[in-house]
Structures are given as C-alpha cells and as structure tokens.
Structure 1
Amino acid sequence: MRVVDDIAHPEMKITLLSWNGKYLLKFEKGDFEQTYKISEMEIGDDKAAKALIDEEFLSAVTNRFQDMRDAFVSTVRRNG
C-alpha cells in the first residue's frame, strides 16, 4: 500500500492511498475511520480521486462519523 497524498482538513485526517489497482480514500476522526475504495480504471488518476472530496461528500462523511459514534456509545451503554 502506497500513500499518494495526505489531504489537509481541520476536522479529520484524510489520506489517499494506492493499493492493488485501487485508490483508497481513508478518513479518520478520533477512534473511527471510513475507507472508500475506487478502481483506478474507473477514476483515472490521483487528481480525479482527490476531486471526489467535495463539500457534499465531506458533509456525508462527517455525518457518518457522528452515526458511528452514536451507535458505539449506545452499545457500550447497553452492554458495558
């Protein structure tokens, strides 16, 4: 796995990786992470992969992090 770029963002760590014919967009915030895999054949190059990270997508990623946190806190409360 090769790191292609670290993309600056104030709320989360964003890394673009290349591995096994795919680009991976990896988002990390606190103890949680999300990874999106995109075929290199489908997207073309790393510039096109980075272009996918627009405000609407970042908003969805942020909301998903909140959902992940809520689900985890709920299970800890039920089972902890």
Structure 2
Amino acid sequence: MRYIKEIPHPAFRVGLYVWNNKYLIKIEAGMYEQTYKISEMDVSSEDEVIRLVDETFLQRVNDRFAQMHEDFLNTIERHEFD
C-alpha cells in the first residue's frame, strides 16, 4: 500500500492511499477506522477521489463511528470480564 497524502480534517485523520489498482480512503477516529475502496477505473484522478470526501460524507462517517463505538461498548457489556 502506498501513501499518497493526508486530507485535512479537524476531527478525523483522513489518509489517501493506492493499492492493488484501488484508491483507499482511510478515516481514523480514536481506536476506530473506516476504509473506502474506489477502483482506479471509476475515477479520473486523485483530485476526484479527494472531492468525494465532502462534509456530507464525513457527517455520515461520524455517525457510523458513533454507532461503531456503541456496538463495541454493548459487546463489552455482554461479555463482562472478571
């Protein structure tokens, strides 16, 4: 996997990578991560991929991070360790 660049955002670490003929958008928040893969055949440039990372998309990503956190807390609660 080859790192291309970071996409600035105040709340997340957003990295753009290329691997196996795909662009990868990796978004990290704390201990959680989301990765989106886009075929190089579906876009014409890196700039086009970067434009996909708009505020509407990132709001949905944020909602998903909240759901991931809730899911993880719920499983910990179900499997309390002594």
Determine if the TM-score, normalized by the shorter chain, exceeds 0.5.
yes
Q: TM-score range by the shorter chain?
A: over 0.9
Would you say 1:28 and 2:28 are equivalent positions? yes
Would you say 1:19 and 2:19 are equivalent positions? yes
- Post-superposition CA distance 1:15-66 (Å, at most 9, x none): 0000110000000000000000000010121100000011110000000000
Distance 2:38 2:46 in 1: 11
Gaps (5+ residues) in structure 1? Answer: none
TM-score by length of 2: 0.95
Distance 2:5 2:43 in 1: 16
Distance 1:47 1:17 in 2: 13
* Corresponding residue pairs, total: 80
Larger radius of gyration: 2
Distance 1:67 1:43 in 2: 29
- Post-superposition CA distance 1:55-80 (Å, at most 9, x none): 11000000000000000001101112
Distance 2:44 2:65 in 1: 28
TM-score by length of 1: 0.97
Identity in percent: 44
Partner of 2:67: 67
Q: Give runs of ≥4 in structure 1 deviating > 4 Å.
A: none
